[in-house]
Amino acid sequence: MNYIPISPKERDAMLATIGVKSMEELFRDVPKKHRFPKLDLPPALTEMEVAAELNELALGNENIRTDLVSFLGAGAYNHYIPAVVDHILRRGEFYTAYTPYQPEISQGTLQAIFEYQSLIAALTSMEVSNASHYDGATAVAESVNMAYAQFRGKRTKVVISPAVHPQYRETLRTYVQGMDLTLAGDDPETVSSEQLSVNSLEALVDENTALVIVQYPDFFGRIYDYTALIEAAHAAGALVCVAANPTALALFKTPGEMGADMVVGEGQPLGIPLSYGGPYLGFFTTRKQYIHKMAGRLVGETVDNRGQRAYVLTLTAREQHIKRERATSNICTNQGLMALASAVYMSLLGQTGLRQVAELCYHKAHYAAKNISKIKGYSLCFDTPFFHEFSVCCPQPVEAINDHLLEHGILGGYDLGRDYPSLKDHMLIAVTEMNTKDEIDALVDALAEVNHD
Amino acid sequence: MNIPSNLKYTKTDEWFDLATGKMGLSDYAQGQLSDIVFVEIVVAAGETVEQGKPIASVESVKAAAEAYGAASGKVVAINEELANSPEILNKDPYDAGWMVQIEGGDASGLMDAAAYQKYCEERAH
């Protein structure tokens, strides 16, 4: 379709149709002084000048492909993205982030979402995946909406581990503001002790608890088997949501296998580049018995009137455009392009390839952790098993250490003291398949130097 | 259109059986909704319901609707079968398709079969 700007003739026809004579008359209800406010803008530039200015601004960035070696994770991870992912994304047929308003006419888009759903369901060992959410934080928040609706508002407590990503918890607090819900366990001060993990959460679960939320691996990179916690929650009648790192699921027991009712998370590690503010990808899975309360879209496979395979948006009667205020969520959309990216990434790597990525991450992270813990003044904060991220107790403030690392071209770890006051001078370090042995050795050397300063 | 004469009817297309206290959706309602794919009864035995307040959520292939209490009173039983076989509401709305059973029901203000027949015919135009 061509873009056709409005002509004066068409404008006159529209004005005549609605019964006004001029633009002036159309806007007469807007006070004159507000109609065309004087905007304090610099003089207009040519396209060439704008391109030059933006280029200059962009050169001020340092990126982890060319300028820096990154050991920063904390929810977003630096993985290799095969070229074919971008190649497929940029095909005109796919290059829209939105599910079309007449979805069934776009069978290719629906099939891509269907494949995405199937892959995510397999990765999490769950029965159903929706078509995706905006990011991990909103996916976690939707788990609360779903649990709240499942108990029809009769259970009003949500137990959340303080070791869930601080930004996920912040998003959740925003979501529940207007709801009759209380959050229990959302206390960063309890995190320093090992026993924060499972037992303390279990004690918070009662007959009024709608949902228990934990993260896997948790924000500190630690791996726990939540099976016992999930069983205890189920015994109290509560649901359990596990926010999971998808890469880790290729290697470890899945939350689905542990009995979780919902497995959600940030899909960025699956072929989506690091970028400040996204777009990222939220994945959301659950069990069949809960799909009528699940937010978002769902693509199903069926046969058309000629018996051919076809894809449809199914269960739309749950969505807000039909159910209005009785819908369980106001989310009727998905992150189409990013879901496609992750589907291409997953199908390209396959089960074996994804496991290889996870194993590389695991072994490199453990190599890094072992060598960092040998440096005088540094130690691992926890002795719990971890995946590709670990917490290090540092001899100096993290900010000072990161300044030093930056001088060596290294983007250091996340300063845990920012979110957990009791974890001052604690750094969260992530290692992925992108970090070479030389880079890890350089990190260890640079950290050792800090101590000598 | 099947409108049994022994039942009373609401303007929101529920039927109520004064003899048993059972209620459900009328034949007209199931026909308008077409194939029903999901039913969730939102009240439990032991709870009280009010006439006109939601007792169930019903989804068909083309719409979502609520069923409202046909009478005020105490719920003594709900039809557990409907959750697994929502199509019962289409096949047998007045018998196997009962939704909840209400005790001590105040069923004032309901229409008899003749009045409901007229009410449905009026809406058809």
B77 touching A (Cβ < 8 Å): no
Q: Which two tokens stand for residue B22?
A: 């059972």
Question: A312 with A389, same domain?
Answer: no
Question: A356 with A321, same domain?
Answer: no
Q: How far apart are CA A171 and CA A260, in angstroms?
A: 21
Rounded to a whole number, what is the distance in Å from the CA of B59 to chain A's nearest CA?
6
- Which of B57, B61, B66 would you mutate first to test chain A, the one with the most A CBs within 10 A? B57
State the pLDDT confidence band at A199, using cuts at 50, 70 and 90: low
Domain boundary among A315, A345, A375: A345
Phi/psi of residue A302, each to 5°? -145, -165
Residue A321 has pLDDT above 90, yes or no: no
In a domain, A62, yes or no: no
Domain boundary among A297, A319, A345: A345
Q: How far apart are CA A294 and CA A300, in angstroms?
A: 15
Beta strand A157-160 with A182-184 is parallel
Distinct helix (H) and strand (E) counts, chain A: 16, 15
User: What kind of architecture, by CATH, is found in domain B8-118?
Assistant: Beta Barrel (2.40)
Contact assignment for A292 to B64 by CB distance below 8 Å: no
State the pLDDT confidence band at A378, using cuts at 50, 70 and 90: very high
According to DSSP, the residues that pair with A415 across neighbouring strands are: A427
Question: A332 with A360, same domain?
Answer: no
In a domain, A60, yes or no: no
A318 touching B (Cβ < 8 Å): yes
Q: How far apart are CA A386 and CA A245, in angstroms?
A: 12
Are the C-beta atoms of A146 and A290 separated by less than 8 Å?
yes
If one counts the domains in chain A, the total is 2
Question: A137 with A263, same domain?
Answer: yes
Type of residue at B75? V
Chain B (28-47) residues lying within 8 Å, Cβ to Cβ, of chain A: 37-38, 40, 42
Q: Which of A292, A322, A326 sits opposite B63 (nearest CB)?
A: A322
State the pLDDT confidence band at A196, using cuts at 50, 70 and 90: low
Residue A375 has pLDDT above 80, yes or no: yes
> Mapping DSSP to helix (H, G, I), strand (E, B) and coil, where does residue A386 land?
strand
In a domain, A6, yes or no: no
> Mapping DSSP to helix (H, G, I), strand (E, B) and coil, where does residue A94 land?
coil
Q: How far apart are CA A392 and CA A372, in angstroms?
A: 8
Residue A362 is part of a domain; what is its CATH number? Answer: 3.90.1150.10
Q: How far apart are CA A416 and CA A401, in angstroms?
A: 13
A153 touching B (Cβ < 8 Å): no
Q: Which residue range is the domain that position A416 belongs to?
A: 69-81+352-452
pLDDT at A104: 85
Q: Which of B38, B40, B64 sits opposite A322 (nearest CB)?
A: B64
Cβ-count burial of A288 within 10 angstroms (0-12 exposed, 13-18 middle, 19+ buried)?
exposed
Question: A370 with A266, same domain?
Answer: no
In a domain, A300, yes or no: yes
Question: A290 with A314, same domain?
Answer: yes
A289 touching B (Cβ < 8 Å): no
Contact assignment for B40 to A322 by CB distance below 8 Å: no
Instruction: Give chain A positions within 8 Å (CB) of B86.
Output: none
Question: By C-alpha distance, which of A372, A107, A125 is closest to A252?
Answer: A125
B113 touching A (Cβ < 8 Å): no
Domain boundary among A345, A366, A398: A345
Q: How far apart are CA B32 and CA A242, in angstroms?
A: 41
Instruction: Give Dmax over CA atoms of chain B in angstroms.
Output: 41
Question: A323 with A361, same domain?
Answer: no
State the pLDDT confidence band at A316, using cuts at 50, 70 and 90: confident
In a domain, A4, yes or no: no
For the four alpha carbons of A297, A301, A302 and A306, in that order, the dihedral sign comes to: positive
Segment among A17-26, A182-191, A224-233 with least mean pLDDT: A182-191
Tell me how many degrees the CA angle A239-A244-A248 measures, rounded to the nearest 5. Answer: 140
A326 touching B (Cβ < 8 Å): yes
Residue located via tokens 């905007």: A39
Question: A198 with A311, same domain?
Answer: yes
Contact assignment for B40 to A292 by CB distance below 8 Å: yes
Residue A198 has pLDDT above 80, yes or no: no
Question: A178 with A264, same domain?
Answer: yes
Residue A39 has pLDDT above 90, yes or no: no
Residue A243 is part of a domain; what is its CATH number? Answer: 3.40.640.10
Question: A380 with A270, same domain?
Answer: no
Q: How far apart are CA A383 and CA A393, in angstroms?
A: 12
Q: How far apart are CA A340 and CA A119, in angstroms?
A: 11
Question: A264 with A186, same domain?
Answer: yes
Question: A243 with A387, same domain?
Answer: no
Average pLDDT of chain A, as a whole number:
91
Q: Which two tokens stand for residue A59?
A: 């050169």
In a domain, A56, yes or no: no
